[in-house]
Amino acid sequence: MALRTIRTEGDPVLHKISRPVKEMTPKLRTLIFDMLDTMYEAYGVGLAAPQVGVLKRIVTIDIGEGPIVLINPEILETSGEQTGDEGCLSVPGMAGQVTRPNYVKVKALDENMNEVIYEGTELLARAFCHEIDHLDGKMYTELVEGELHRTTYDEDEE
Ligand code: ZN
C-alpha cells in the first residue's frame, strides 16, 4: 500500500478527460488500492484517478458504508434534487453549495471487471456525480452557487 499525492486545483490534469479502462492489470489493481488508502488517509468520501494524476476512468467512494470501486462508470438514471455543501480533496479546506440529483443509479465495472449497478441517494448520489465529473475534467467549483467558503469543524453546521 502506498499513498499517492493528491493533485490540487490549478493542476491541469484535473481538467482533462480520462480514458476508459480496457483490462485490469496489476498496475491498475495497485492504483485502486492506493486510491483507497489515499482517500481514507485524507478523510475523503471519494477520489477519482485524475486526482492522483492518472487519466483513467476509475473512482473510489466510501461514505461510511464500505468501499465502492467504479471502473468506467456511467450514470443510468437520476431523479430529484438536493442542494448542500460539497467539498473536494483537490480543493482542501473549502466547500460550496451545489445542487445535485437526490437519486442516482450507476453502472460500472468493479475491480474484477464484473458489471455492478449501484443506486444511491443523498450523500452517495452526490458522491457518484462529483467523482464521475472528475473523469470528464469537471470540478465542483464550476457548479457552486454563490461563494466557496472555508470549512470549519463545527459539528452543528449543516
Ligand atoms: Zn473532488
Instruction: Tell me how far the alpha carbon of residue 114 lies from the centroid of ligand 1, in angstroms.
Output: 25
Instruction: Tell me how far the alpha carbon of residue 22 lies from the centroid of ligand 1, in angstroms.
Output: 24
Name the residue with cell 462529483.
130
Which grid cell is 9? 486545483
Name the residue with cell 480520462.
18
CB contact at 8 A, 150 and 94: yes
Identify the active-site residue in 111, 119, 131, 145: 131
Question: Which of 39-53, 82-96, 113-127, 144-158 comes out lowest in average pLDDT?
Answer: 144-158
Q: Residue 51 has what pLDDT?
A: 98
pTM reported for the whole predicted model: 0.94
Instruction: Tell me how far the alpha carbon of residue 44 lies from the centroid of ligand 1, in angstroms.
Output: 9
Q: Residue 133 has what pLDDT?
A: 98
Instruction: Tell me how far the alpha carbon of residue 124 lies from the centroid of ligand 1, in angstroms.
Output: 13
The yes-or-no verdict on residue 158 having pLDDT over 60 is: no
Q: In what order do the strands lie in the sheet with 145-150?
A: 82-86, 94-100, 145-150
Residue environment code for 99-125, b if the CB has 16+ CB neighbours within 10 A, otherwise e: ebbbbbbbebbebeeeebebebeebbb
Q: Residue 81 catalytic? A: no
User: If you write DSSP's letter for every residue of 3-32 in order, what string do you get?
Assistant: --PPP-TT-GGGGSPPBPP-S--HHHHHHH
Q: What is the pLDDT of residues 72-114, one digit of tens each?
A: 999 999 999 999 999 999 999 999 999 999 999 999 999 999 9
Q: Residue 63 has what pLDDT?
A: 97
Name the residue with cell 489515499.
38
